[in-house]
Amino acid sequence: MKYGIVIVSHSVKIADGVKDLISEAAPSLSITVAGGTDENAIGSSLEKIQKAFDENIGDEILAFYDLGSSKMNLEMFMEMTDKVVHKYDVALVEGAYTAATLAEIDSPLETIENSLKPLIIK
Protein backbone atom coordinates (compact mmCIF):
# COMPACT_ATOMS: atom_id res chain seq x y z
CA MET A 1 0.00 0.00 0.00
CA LYS A 2 1.36 3.38 -1.01
CA TYR A 3 0.24 5.58 1.89
CA GLY A 4 -0.63 4.93 5.50
CA ILE A 5 -1.88 7.40 8.06
CA VAL A 6 -0.60 7.96 11.61
CA ILE A 7 -2.55 10.03 14.12
CA VAL A 8 -0.74 11.50 17.14
CA SER A 9 -2.89 13.08 19.84
CA HIS A 10 -2.59 14.09 23.48
CA SER A 11 -5.69 12.05 24.18
CA VAL A 12 -6.29 8.32 23.70
CA LYS A 13 -9.93 9.03 22.93
CA ILE A 14 -9.19 11.71 20.35
CA ALA A 15 -6.68 9.47 18.58
CA ASP A 16 -9.08 6.51 18.53
CA GLY A 17 -12.01 8.75 17.60
CA VAL A 18 -10.23 10.29 14.63
CA LYS A 19 -9.31 6.80 13.48
CA ASP A 20 -12.95 5.66 13.76
CA LEU A 21 -14.09 8.66 11.79
CA ILE A 22 -11.61 8.49 8.94
CA SER A 23 -11.79 4.69 8.65
CA GLU A 24 -15.34 5.20 7.39
CA ALA A 25 -13.95 7.15 4.47
CA ALA A 26 -10.93 4.89 3.98
CA PRO A 27 -11.73 1.31 4.96
CA SER A 28 -8.72 -0.20 3.18
CA LEU A 29 -6.09 2.25 4.42
CA SER A 30 -3.56 1.40 7.12
CA ILE A 31 -4.38 3.85 9.94
CA THR A 32 -2.49 3.61 13.24
CA VAL A 33 -2.61 5.88 16.27
CA ALA A 34 -0.53 7.12 19.19
CA GLY A 35 -2.82 8.68 21.79
CA GLY A 36 -1.83 9.92 25.26
CA THR A 37 1.11 8.98 27.45
CA ASP A 38 2.41 5.49 28.24
CA GLU A 39 -0.02 5.50 31.17
CA ASN A 40 -2.87 6.60 28.86
CA ALA A 41 -2.99 9.99 30.55
CA ILE A 42 -3.13 13.27 28.60
CA GLY A 43 0.21 13.88 26.90
CA SER A 44 2.30 12.20 24.25
CA SER A 45 4.66 9.28 24.12
CA LEU A 46 7.57 8.71 21.78
CA GLU A 47 7.24 4.98 22.43
CA LYS A 48 3.61 4.96 21.29
CA ILE A 49 4.57 6.96 18.22
CA GLN A 50 7.28 4.43 17.39
CA LYS A 51 4.76 1.64 17.77
CA ALA A 52 2.18 3.36 15.55
CA PHE A 53 4.77 3.69 12.79
CA ASP A 54 5.99 0.11 13.23
CA GLU A 55 2.45 -1.22 12.91
CA ASN A 56 1.56 0.87 9.89
CA ILE A 57 1.94 -1.01 6.58
CA GLY A 58 1.96 2.06 4.32
CA ASP A 59 5.14 2.56 2.24
CA GLU A 60 5.05 6.23 3.14
CA ILE A 61 3.28 7.78 6.09
CA LEU A 62 1.04 10.82 6.22
CA ALA A 63 1.22 12.03 9.82
CA PHE A 64 -1.23 14.26 11.69
CA TYR A 65 -1.02 15.62 15.24
CA ASP A 66 -2.92 17.89 17.58
CA LEU A 67 -0.85 20.03 19.99
CA GLY A 68 2.68 21.03 20.96
CA SER A 69 4.29 17.97 22.49
CA SER A 70 2.61 15.61 20.00
CA LYS A 71 4.35 17.58 17.30
CA MET A 72 7.67 17.63 19.13
CA ASN A 73 7.64 13.91 19.80
CA LEU A 74 6.59 13.23 16.21
CA GLU A 75 9.45 15.37 14.91
CA MET A 76 11.88 13.66 17.26
CA PHE A 77 10.77 10.32 15.86
CA MET A 78 11.17 11.62 12.30
CA GLU A 79 14.81 12.50 13.06
CA MET A 80 15.40 8.92 14.24
CA THR A 81 13.59 6.89 11.60
CA ASP A 82 14.45 5.85 8.03
CA LYS A 83 10.78 5.80 7.06
CA VAL A 84 9.42 8.39 4.67
CA VAL A 85 7.11 10.56 6.75
CA HIS A 86 5.05 13.50 5.54
CA LYS A 87 3.90 15.62 8.49
CA TYR A 88 1.10 18.11 8.04
CA ASP A 89 0.51 21.18 10.20
CA VAL A 90 -3.22 21.09 9.53
CA ALA A 91 -6.42 20.88 11.55
CA LEU A 92 -6.27 17.29 12.83
CA VAL A 93 -9.76 16.00 12.08
CA GLU A 94 -10.34 17.78 8.79
CA GLY A 95 -6.80 17.16 7.59
CA ALA A 96 -6.73 13.47 8.39
CA TYR A 97 -10.19 13.01 6.88
CA THR A 98 -9.21 14.78 3.66
CA ALA A 99 -5.97 12.83 3.31
CA ALA A 100 -7.65 9.51 4.08
CA THR A 101 -10.39 10.08 1.53
CA LEU A 102 -7.88 10.89 -1.19
CA ALA A 103 -5.33 8.22 -0.25
CA GLU A 104 -8.08 5.61 -0.31
CA ILE A 105 -8.61 6.23 -4.04
CA ASP A 106 -4.85 6.27 -4.71
CA SER A 107 -4.60 9.99 -5.35
CA PRO A 108 -1.06 11.26 -5.93
CA LEU A 109 0.70 13.06 -3.07
CA GLU A 110 0.49 16.35 -4.93
CA THR A 111 -3.31 16.16 -5.02
CA ILE A 112 -3.45 15.26 -1.33
CA GLU A 113 -1.14 18.11 -0.38
CA ASN A 114 -3.06 20.64 -2.46
CA SER A 115 -6.24 19.68 -0.67
CA LEU A 116 -4.50 19.99 2.71
CA LYS A 117 -3.18 23.49 2.05
CA PRO A 118 -6.32 25.41 3.09
CA LEU A 119 -6.38 23.41 6.32
CA ILE A 120 -2.99 24.56 7.58
CA ILE A 121 -3.51 26.15 10.98
CA LYS A 122 -0.23 25.74 12.81
* Residues tagged active-site: 10
Smallest separation, CB 13 to another protein (Å): 17
81 binds another protein (CB under 8 A): no
121 binds another protein (CB under 8 A): no
**39 vs 110 by CB, closer to another protein:** 39
∠47-117-15 over CA atoms, to 5°? 30
- What separation in angstroms does the CA of 94 have from each of 55, 79, 112, 118? 23, 26, 13, 10
Interface stretch with another protein, choices 11-19, 21-29, 42-50, 102-110 (CB under 8 A): 42-50
Interface stretch with another protein, choices 20-28, 45-53, 54-62, 107-115 (CB under 8 A): 45-53
Among 20, 24, 47, 54, binds another protein (CB under 8 A): 47
Question: In what helix (H) or strand (E) does residue 84 lie, and over which residues does it extend?
Answer: strand 84-88
